[in-house]
Amino acid sequence: MEFAVVTLLPEMFTALTDFGITGRAFKEGIATLNLVNPRDFSVDRHGTVDDKPYGGGPGMLLKVEPVLKAVDVAKQQCQSPAKVIYFSAQGRRLVQTDVNSLAAEPAVIFIAGRYEGLDQRLIDLVVDEEYSIGDYVLSGGEIPAMAAMDAIVRLLPGVLGDAESAEEESFTDGLLEYPQYTRPESVSGRRVPEVLLSGDHAKIKNWRRQQSLGRTFLRRPDLLDKRGLSTDEKKLLEEFLQDLSLD
Ligand code: SAM
The predicted pLDDT at position 75 comes to 98
Range(s) of the domain holding residue 204? 170-246
134 is a domain residue: yes
Nearest CA to ligand 1 atom 24: 132
For the domain that residue 136 is a member of, what is the CATH number? 3.40.1280.10
Cα separations in angstroms, 214 against 95, 147, 196, 221, 237? 21, 27, 17, 10, 6
Residues 7 and 99 placed together within one structural domain of the fold: yes
Residues 117 and 22 placed together within one structural domain of the fold: yes
Q: Are 121 and 165 in contact, with CB atoms under 8 Å apart?
A: no
Separation between Cα atoms, residue 37 and residue 112, nearest integer Å: 10
Residues 91 and 123 placed together within one structural domain of the fold: yes
165 is a domain residue: no
Q: Is 35 helix (H, G, I), strand (E, B) or coil?
A: strand
96 is a domain residue: yes
Residues 148 and 180 placed together within one structural domain of the fold: no
Q: Is 89 in the pocket of ligand 1 (CB under 6 A)?
A: yes
pLDDT of the chain along its 247 residues, tens only? Answer: 999 999 999 999 999 999 999 999 999 999 999 999 999 999 999 999 999 999 999 999 999 999 999 999 999 999 999 999 999 999 999 999 999 999 999 999 999 999 999 999 999 999 999 999 999 999 999 999 999 999 999 999 999 987 567 777 888 899 999 999 999 999 999 999 999 999 999 999 999 999 999 999 999 999 999 999 999 999 999 999 999 998 7
Domain final residue, candidates 123, 153, 183: 153
Distance in Å, CA 121 to ligand 1 centroid: 17
Separation between Cα atoms, residue 11 and residue 37, nearest integer Å: 10
Q: Is 110 in the pocket of ligand 1 (CB under 6 A)?
A: no
- Residue type, position 210, single letter: Q
User: Going by C-beta distance under 8 Å and a sequence separation of 6 or more, which residues neighbour residue 73?
Assistant: 36, 41
Residues 14 and 57 placed together within one structural domain of the fold: yes
Distance in Å, CA 133 to ligand 1 centroid: 10
Burial of 145 (0-12, 13-18, 19+ CB in 10 A): buried
Q: How many domains does the chain have?
A: 2
Residues 182 and 210 placed together within one structural domain of the fold: yes
Q: Is 53 in the pocket of ligand 1 (CB under 6 A)?
A: no
The predicted pLDDT at position 247 comes to 76
The predicted pLDDT at position 172 comes to 85
What's the half-sphere exposure (Cβ side, CA atoms, 13 Å) at 217? 17
The predicted pLDDT at position 2 comes to 98
The predicted pLDDT at position 168 comes to 78
Residues 29 and 92 placed together within one structural domain of the fold: yes
Rounded to two decimals, the pTM is: 0.94
164 is a domain residue: no
Q: Are 17 and 33 in contact, with CB atoms under 8 Å apart?
A: yes
Residues 128 and 235 placed together within one structural domain of the fold: no
Distance in Å, CA 208 to ligand 1 centroid: 38
Domain final residue, candidates 153, 179, 197: 153
